[in-house]
Amino acid sequence: MVSIRLSRGGAKKRPFYHIVATDQRNRRDGRYLERLGFFNPVAAPTEEKLRIDLARVDYWLGQGARPSERVVSLVKGYRKQQGGDPKTAEAASPAESA
């Protein structure tokens, strides 16, 4: 099954995460199918903190991918920031697949 989750990178004490679509059996930082964006929790005020390709996230969700809880909250916040459609933000919640 395909999972949408964070893959950690960056230096010690300076985390940087890629949002990736991957087979759930792969390691956290291992092989992935597609990179969908990034999240930089320690970004300076002048740097971009979050970027997500919402069209590709919607594609993978349509194919049955299951996002992690953190990815769901990041996507919801990013859609709100971008002024996206709230109906598609609800489709990203894992409660529907449970």
21: pLDDT strictly greater than 90: yes
Predicted local confidence at residue 87, as pLDDT:
53
**Tens-digit pLDDT profile for residues 34-63:** 999 999 999 999 999 999 999 999 999 999
Angle in degrees, CA 66, 58, 45, rounded to 5: 95
- pTM for the structure as a whole: 0.80
Predicted local confidence at residue 34, as pLDDT:
95
Class of domain 2-97: alpha beta
Average pLDDT of every residue of the chain: 88
Confidence grade of residue 89 (pLDDT, cut at 50, 70, 90): very low
Residue 68 structure tokens: 């992690």
Sheet bearing 66-67, strands edge to edge: 50-52, 34-39, 14-23, 2-11, 66-67
Cβ neighbours for 62, distance < 8 A, ≥ 6 positions apart: none
